[in-house]
C-alpha cells in the first residue's frame, strides 16, 4: 500500500511553486521565486446530492496569519450537456451552489470564476468513481514509538475504479469538567452571594475538522484495495479520547493529476526550512486565467465520488482503571484567595469579575491569606470554555 502523510494546506500557501501537472505522476524540479499575490481555489464537487462548495482566498506572505477571503466573485460550473450551476457567496470567500446537484459519471465538468475583471477556468474534469468505505475501525497500537488509538479504514474496489484517494476527517469528543457546582459566586452590594447557575457547564462537546490531507494510492498493489490505511492516531496522553470520541472520515476519489498535485504539496511541506535554497513559490493545478496564462493561480478543481463513515468509542474500550485518564486542564489546584480588596490581581472579587476562577464552595477558613471560599481555574469547572454544551445532532451514546 502506498500511503502519503499529512500536511497543513494553509501554511503551504506561503511557499507554493509554479509547475504544470500532466496526466501521469512524475518528479518535478522547482525554482525559488519571490512572493506574489495569487488566487487560491479549493473546489471539489462530488456525486453526493447537495449544495456544492467552492472556497476562494488569496495567498499570503510569510508572517501573515490567515489567507484573506476572495469576495465578490462570479462562480459557476458547467458540464458538457449544457447545464450551468450558479454559485452564490454565503460568507466571505465561501460560495455554494444555488441548487443541489450531484456530479454524474462519464460527464465532463468545468469551473468558471470571474473576479475583479479577470476570468478563470479549469480544465475539463471527469468524475472519478470508487466504492464506498467498507470499514472504519479503531485499535490500540504503538505508532512511531507512541502508545495510543489508531483509526484505520479498509476499502475494496473493482479493477477499473479509481486508484487515487484523498481523505478528510472530522472528530467530535465529549468533555466532562473535573469539578462541578450548581452555584456561582457573585459580589453584590458589598457581599458575596451564591446564585444558581443558568447554563450547563459540566458536559460539553467539541468538533474539530482536520487541517491535514491524507493521500493513498493502490497503483503499486496487485488488487485495487486499501487495507489498514491509517487516517488518525490519538496518543494515549491526548484528552480528546478520555471520555467518548467519534470520528467521521470522508473519502474522495482523485484523478492521477489531482493526486500528483496534492502529493507535490505534501513533499514541499516536508521541507525542514522554507527559507532554504530549495524554497519554492507556487504550485499550479488545473485552473488558469483565460486571458493571461502566465498569471499564477493556486488550486485544483476535483470531481470525485464521495463516501463517508462514522464510528464511536469510549475510553474504557481501550484503557482500564489502572491507566491514568488524561485531562484537558492540568492546573486544577483548589485555592482560597483573599477577599481583601488589595492587591487587586489576587483578591477574590477581581478573579471572579475577570472570569479567571469558578466557585466550588465554602472553605471554612478566614483571614488575610486564606479566604472563606474555595475556587479553581474556570476551565476546570466550566466546560463551555473548551467546547459547547449543545449536544451534536448526530451524537449517540452507548
Helical spans, DSSP H, in the chain: 9-12, 256-269, 348-353
| 3-state SS, one letter per residue, for 334-386 | CECCCCCCCCCCCCHHHHHHCCCEEEEEECCCCCCCCCCEEEEEHHHCCHHHC
229 pairs with which residues across the strands?
153
pLDDT at 17: 35
d(CA 370, CA 334): 12
pLDDT digits (tens, 9 = 90+) for 335-352: 988 876 655 556 888 889
pLDDT digits (tens, 9 = 90+) for 352-370: 989 999 999 998 887 666 7
pLDDT at 178: 95
Nearest Cα to Cα of residue 118 among 53, 191, 39, 47: 39
By CB atoms closer than 10 A (0-12, 13-18, 19+), residue 209 is: exposed
Confidence of residue 5 (pLDDT cuts 50, 70, 90): very low
Average pLDDT for residues 138-165, to the nearest whole number? 93
pLDDT at 8: 44
Q: In the predicted model, is pLDDT for residue 25 greater than 60? A: no
Confidence of residue 11 (pLDDT cuts 50, 70, 90): very low
Query: Would you call 318 helix, strand, or coil by DSSP?
Result: coil
pLDDT at 61: 60
Q: In the predicted model, is pLDDT for residue 34 greater than 80? A: no
pLDDT at 26: 44
Q: Which residue has the higher pLDDT, 7 or 176?
A: 176
Q: In the predicted model, is pLDDT for residue 7 greater than 90? A: no
d(CA 274, CA 29): 16
Phi-psi region at 66: left, alpha or beta (left = phi > 0; alpha = psi -120 to 50): beta
Mean pLDDT, the chain, rounded, equals: 85
CA atoms within 13 A on the CB side of 32: 6
Q: In the predicted model, is pLDDT for residue 16 greater than 60? A: no
pLDDT at 65: 61
The percentage of the chain sitting over the pLDDT mark of 90, rounded to a whole number, equals 65
pLDDT digits (tens, 9 = 90+) for 187-231: 888 889 999 999 999 999 999 999 888 999 998 888 889 999 999
pLDDT at 139: 97
d(CA 325, CA 309): 27
Q: How many CB atoms are closer than 10 A to CB 125?
A: 24
Q: In the predicted model, is pLDDT for residue 45 greater than 50? A: yes
pLDDT at 72: 95
Average pLDDT for residues 41-69, to the nearest whole number? 85
Nearest Cα to Cα of residue 328 among 170, 178, 149, 140: 178
State pTM to two decimals.
Answer: 0.82
pLDDT digits (tens, 9 = 90+) for 223-269: 889 999 999 999 999 999 999 999 999 999 999 999 999 988 887 76
Confidence of residue 274 (pLDDT cuts 50, 70, 90): very low
pLDDT at 269: 65
pLDDT at 343: 55
pLDDT digits (tens, 9 = 90+) for 152-189: 999 998 888 889 999 999 999 999 999 999 999 998 88
Average pLDDT for residues 365-381, to the nearest whole number? 85
Average pLDDT for residues 120-126, to the nearest whole number? 96
d(CA 226, CA 347): 60
Amino acid at each position: 500500500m502506498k500511503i502519503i502523510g499529512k500536511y497543513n494546506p494553509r501554511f503551504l500557501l506561503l511557499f507554493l511553486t509554479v509547475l504544470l501537472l500532466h496526466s501521469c505522476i512524475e518528479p518535478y524540479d522547482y525554482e525559488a521565486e519571490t512572493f506574489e499575490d495569487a488566487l487560491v481555489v479549493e473546489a471539489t464537487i462530488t456525486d453526493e446530492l447537495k449544495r456544492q462548495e467552492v472556497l476562494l482566498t488569496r495567498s499570503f506572505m510569510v508572517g501573515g496569519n490567515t489567507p484573506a477571503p476572495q469576495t465578490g466573485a462570479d462562480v459557476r460550473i458547467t458540464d458538457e450537456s449544457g447545464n450551468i450551476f450558479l454559485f452564490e457567496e454565503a460568507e466571505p470567500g465561501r460560495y455554494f451552489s444555488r441548487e443541489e446537484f450531484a456530479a454524474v459519471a462519464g460527464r465532463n465538468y468545468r469551473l468558471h470564476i470571474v473576479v475583479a475583471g479577470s476570468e478563470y477556468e479549469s480544465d475539463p474534469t471527469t468524475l472519478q468513481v470508487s466504492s464506498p468505505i467498507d470499514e472504519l475501525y479503531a485499535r490500540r497500537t504503538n505508532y512511531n514509538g507512541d502508545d495510543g488509538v489508531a483509526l484505520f479504514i479498509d476499502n475494496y474496489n473493482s479493477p477499473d475504479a479509481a486508484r487515487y484517494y484523498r481523505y478528510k476527517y472530522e472528530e467530535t469528543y465529549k468533555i466532562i469538567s473535573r469539578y462541578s457546582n450548581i452555584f456561582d459566586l457573585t459580589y453584590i452590594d458589598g457581599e458575596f452571594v451564591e446564585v444558581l447557575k443558568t447554563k450547563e457547564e459540566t458536559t460539553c462537546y467539541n468538533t474539530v475538522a482536520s487541517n491535514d490531507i491524507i493521500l493513498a494510492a493502490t497503483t503499486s498493489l496487485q488488487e485495487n484495495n486499501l487495507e489498514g490505511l491509517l487516517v488518525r492516531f490519538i496518543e494515549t496522553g491526548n484528552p480528546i479520547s478520555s471520555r467518548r470520541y467519534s470520528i467521521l472520515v470522508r473519502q474522495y476519489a482523485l484523478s492521477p493529476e489531482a493526486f500528483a498535485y496534492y502529493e507535490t504539496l505534501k513533499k514541499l511541506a516536508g521541507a525542514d526550512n522554507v527559507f532554504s535554497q530549495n524554497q519554492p513559490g507556487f504550485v499550479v493545478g488545473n485552473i488558469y486565467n483565460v486571458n493571461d496564462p502566465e498569471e499564477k493561480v493556486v488550486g485544483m478543481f476535483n470531481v470525485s465520488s464521495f463516501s463517508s463513515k462514522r464510528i464511536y468509542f469510549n475510553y474504557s474500550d481501550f484503557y482500564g482503571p489502572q491507566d491514568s485518564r488524561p485531562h484537558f486542564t492540568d492546573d486544577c489546584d483548589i485555592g482560597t484567595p483573599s477577599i481583601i480588596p488589595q492587591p487587586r490581581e489576587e483578591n477574590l472579587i477581581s478573579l471572579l469579575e475577570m472570569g479567571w476562577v469558578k466557585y466550588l464552595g465554602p472553605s471554612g477558613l478566614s483571614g488575610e491569606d486564606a479566604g472563606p471560599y474555595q475556587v479553581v481555574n474556570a476551565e476546570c469547572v466550566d466546560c463551555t470554555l473548551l467546547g459547547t454544551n449543545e449536544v451534536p445532532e448526530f451524537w449517540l451514546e452507548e
